[in-house]
Amino acid sequence: MVAAAMLVVTGVVCILVLQLPQLKSVQAQGRRPVTTLSTKQNNATQSAVATQADFSQATIPQEKSETVTVQAAPDGSFHDIRVAVQLTNPSSAKTLRDQSNLSELEEDETNARPTKTAQGLLWSSGEPTLKYKGKSTQQLPFALRMSYELDGKTITANQLAGKSGHVKICYQFENLTSKDPKHCVPFVALSALMLDGEKFSKVQVSNGKSMDMNERIMVVGYAMPGLQEGLHLKGDTQDIPSSFTIEADVKDFALDTAVTLVSTDALNDFKLEFGEDARDSMDKLKDASSQLTSGSQSLADGMDKLSSGAGTLSDAIVTAQTGASQLSEGVDSYTSGVDQAAKGATTLQAALDAAVEEAQSQAAVAQDTLSQLQTQYAAAYEAVLADPNPENLAALHEAVQALAHTSGIAGQAAGAAAALQNDQLTQGISSLNTGLARLSANSQQLKDGASQLNDGLLQLSDASGALAKGTDKAAEGSSALAEGFLQLDKQGIQRIVSLYEDDVVGLRDRIKSLQAAGKRYDTFSGIEAGTKGSVRFVIKTAAIGLD
């Protein structure tokens, strides 16, 4: 469970998971947040208000992609939120309908503005894509706090400019939507900084990596606030980071603009798969144990009937024959149960071994690919710093996704192997295999004995006293056997099944819930029902000590 949960932590970069509150009242109406415009826009469009029929006849965009660019102060506080939107219009329809809570809306190329209706916005298009931009004042679903230390003492960003010594920079992210772990929406935050190689040395990064690039040092840090709560993990066993820290020796401190990319689809990009082989094996093991317990109880019941009927010779013979028949059936059930349990345990062990081997193989392949992708990411990062237009941002996002996907594969394989190599589970299966092998070897002897007992009872005529004593002892033995199998089922088989269901199945369900929440969070500014949405955030943190 723990290893699977930490699959995104083992690579150089990974993606932060957050959650956005569900807009329940709006979703209940089948549409996202109601469109709002600035006062200037309202005045400009009042004369062109469309009718309800105009809106209903307009085309619904196929896709809506939003890039939310946020300016941040050196302390991490946000301001000036701008959103670049692209509507996909494959049919080149002349009019598109849309929902948006942005103000100061303008189409990119013509600076045209939409027509406002009571139901939403109408855009004049006629092209395969329509791009527009606007401003937002709504709260972001996450917060960032940045702090600084110089030689172990807290200092502000402005005070730090131009200073020398040992510096510590902390990025602390907060998931504002993780109050309810059941609806945690996975966000991904990946921060990149370029340090001056002449000013910074001995750079160390917690939850990240630093790379020398000629005269500059690229630092990549990641955090996943909210994921720990969403997966119900205890902090004393595993800590999924919500922050990262950069430490370095610095001379004449100055820091260039930093870029943080936040995405919503990290867990879905990793394409986590949960096969049913182990589940099937556990079901077979559980069924076989139930049959084994049931068969032993049938044996005990039959022997009780045989013992109670041994008062007279004739009654003893009839009762003994009945009991012997039930004994034979119970032994058959017992033998079949042992065989099924042994097959189930063998299948489970093979599935665990195969899963570990496959995970280790995938991790090795992904690690070889990781170094090649780092170079591509650095180029995309430089392009964003030079010109943070949607195309460059998309390229940066693709590079980040490639890095995240590759590291995720390695982490998934390593995590899956560690999760399946559970000492308690392995020892339990080994002990179960040994016990079942012994039971299987002795089952034929027990079956032959039951058959001989049935044949011998036909010859009983003068041995009613001996029969009564023998059946009493057999009844006691069969009861003890039934109690032993019941204890084996409760303390052995059922414990193994419970361990699997609590650790593996529980984590699987929580990860699937996070993946579903990530897919649901598909807009920041609003979206028309029927449109497929996607949203990413780009945070640009202001430079320090640079004119």
pLDDT, tens only, 3-19: 444 443 443 334 333 33
Highest mean pLDDT among 85-89, 260-264, 391-395 belongs to 85-89
* % of the chain at pLDDT higher than 90: 30
- Summarised one tens digit per residue, pLDDT across range 246-285 is 999 999 999 999 999 988 766 665 555 555 555 665 666 5
Residue 434: pLDDT band (50, 70, 90) is: confident
CATH architecture of 142-253: Sandwich (2.60)
Residue percentage of the chain with pLDDT more than 70? 57
Q: Which of 169-178, 469-478, 482-491 has the lowest mean pLDDT?
A: 482-491
Please tell me which residue, 438 or 56, carries the higher pLDDT value: 56
CB 282 within 8 A of CB 348: yes
Q: Which residue has the higher pLDDT, 26 or 474?
A: 474
d(CA 49, CA 464): 105
**Average pLDDT of the segment spanning 211-235:** 83
Phi/psi at 539 (nearest 5 deg)? -105, 125
Whole-angstrom distance, CA of residue 365 vs CA of residue 358:
11
Nearest Cα neighbor of 493 from 437, 429, 420, 438 is: 429
Report pLDDT for 283: 67
Average pLDDT, the chain: 74
Q: Are 488 and 289 in contact (CB under 8 A)?
A: yes
Whether this prediction's pTM lies above 0.75 is answered by no
Q: Which of 180-184, 221-225, 238-242 has the highest mean pLDDT?
A: 221-225
Domain ranges for the chain, please list them.
22-140+523-534, 142-253, 277-517
Q: At how many degrees (to 10) do helices 313-386 and 423-457 cross?
A: 160
**Residue 153 pLDDT:** 97
Helix, coil or strand: residue 60: coil
Whether residue 480 is predicted with pLDDT greater than 60 in this model: the reply is no
Q: 180 with 174: CB under 8 angstroms?
A: no
Q: How many residues does the chain have?
A: 547
**What pLDDT sits at residue 214?**
84
Contacts of 338 (CB under 8 A, 6+ apart): 288, 292, 436, 439, 440, 443
Pull the structure tokens for residue 323. 């009991």
CA neighbor of 202 nearest in space, from 153, 149, 249, 251: 249
Tell me the average pLDDT across 335-356.
71
Confidence at 25, pLDDT banded by 50, 70, 90? very low
Q: For the residues 21-43, what does the mean pLDDT come to?
A: 36
CA distance 32 to 101: 10
What's residue 263's pLDDT? 83
3-state SS of 337-358 is: HHHHHHHHHHHHHHHHHHHHHH
Q: Which residue has the higher pLDDT, 52 or 226?
A: 226
* Spacing of C-alpha 247 from chain mean position: 31
Q: 183 or 469: whose pLDDT is higher?
A: 183
